[in-house]
Amino acid sequence: MSSTSEAAFLAPPTGKPVGQSVAMHRLLRKLYPIGRSITGEGVRQTLRMLEQYLPAGLQVQEVPSGTPVLDWVVPPEWNIRQAYVRDTQGRHVIDFANHNLHVVGYSQPVAGWFTRAELEEHLHSLPEQPDLIPYRTSYYGASWGFCLAHRQREQLQDEVYEVCIDATHDPAGSLTYGQLLLPGSSEEEVLISCHLCHPSLANDNISGLVVATALANWLADRPRRYSYRFLFVPATIGAITWLAQHQETAVPCVRHGLVLSLLGGPGQFTYKASEAGAAEVDRAVALALRDLHEPHELRLFSPYGYDERQYCSPGFRLPVGCLTRTPFGEFPEYHTSADNPDFVTQQQLTGSLRLLRRVCRVLEQNQTYQNLSPYGEPQLGRRGLYKTVGGGLDGQQWQMVLLWVLNQSDGRHSLLDIAERSGLPFQLLHKAAVALRATQLLA
């Protein structure tokens, strides 16, 4: 952790550096209380905080409400100041100030008294999980509501209740998103996309934000063949807005991409492939999981899920997959108040970052080589190539790595191809290619 940007990530803006896993979890805890939605001050506050931890260059974009974006329109900006349900004795039996999942996202403003029966039509709870608050939204319909634990709901006994939702839907507002570009030696890009619109859900979506932030800091201090574009966007409408605004500029530059979410909770890795199914990024993730001996599941593409479905839509067909641990909807804490900072562990965040670093190394180092001595096996001994490279390798193992690279380097097979066919770790094959180039056996 030697670079200025990484030091800033570890201890912004002052203070002593801490371990990276601790730093990620601290940032997650800071982001957790912010009341986010697809538009509004919560998104801006989140981006301001991320900007303190990211390498320099985060661009915050404001897209006016009412702007056509592909087949959609940017919605009015939603902000909420307070919301509560109060009984006849003046007690707040539900209060947005206590937990920002208590209000249905994008609720219409409400002020007045409602009978208990009328109020019940606007309440959401989970009888099967009676102590948890669910997460609900109503982005594109004129509605309102409150979410609460089912046990709390069963205690509502008054005949009437006062309801207040002090919220605004501003047609003169905007949608806000952030993007950070780390230029490489090539204008070809790797796209890393995270959604930032969920309030107080630590695994979904804050874990993706903090792991992406750590990855950006790691990449910022390294030489890069590719340029890396990090997007922090509201789900669905944010990705669609970015695509609409960049379809003639950045979109054609994207060569590989990943959507990140659910990277801090329990469970093994799950990777959902891009629509192509065998894009280089799909193979790189599978290879990194194999080489790191990480338990995992590889799934085929489906047009439902996170923003990979926008990037992979027929008009774009970008090679973008989705990396998570246990997928959305497949763990009981999903979209409930149980998805809190204690549900996310430092170990899982660190393991996710380690995997992403490995994926980036594969993408950066995957080259296709030409054997310059292709007629028979070249004499390796007189070139000093039989010397062990350490790391537990003996001379015979190292020879096998060299021979695989030489045999397959016909100008058609990349290192990724060789790693898949040979079963050998990608990093060893890359090390062999570097050694063979140094002796003029590869170009």
Q: What are the tokens at 11? A: 């201890």
- On whether 246 is known to bind a ligand per the annotation, the reply is no
Please give the single-letter amino acid code of residue 420: E
Q: Is 204 annotated to bind ligand?
A: yes
CA 387, 390, 394, 397 torsion: positive or negative? negative
Residue 198 is assigned to a ligand binding site: yes
Q: Alpha helices of 280-378 — where are they, by DSSP H?
A: 280-291, 308-311, 346-365
Locus of tokens 């997650």: 28
CB-based contacts of 159, cutoff 8 Å, min separation 6:
88, 115, 116
Query: 234 with 72: CB under 8 angstroms?
Result: no
Q: What is the largest CA-CA distance in the chain?
A: 93
By C-alpha distance, which of 333, 312, 161 is closest to 262?
333
Helices 207-220 + 346-365 axis angle, to 10: 40
Sign of the torsion angle spanned by Cα atoms 243, 274, 47, 187:
negative
Residue the block writes with tokens 């996202």: 105
Listed residue (132, 130, 222) closest to 182, CA to CA: 222
List residues forming the annotated binding site for Zn(2+).
198, 204, 335
Feature table: binding site: 198, 204, 335
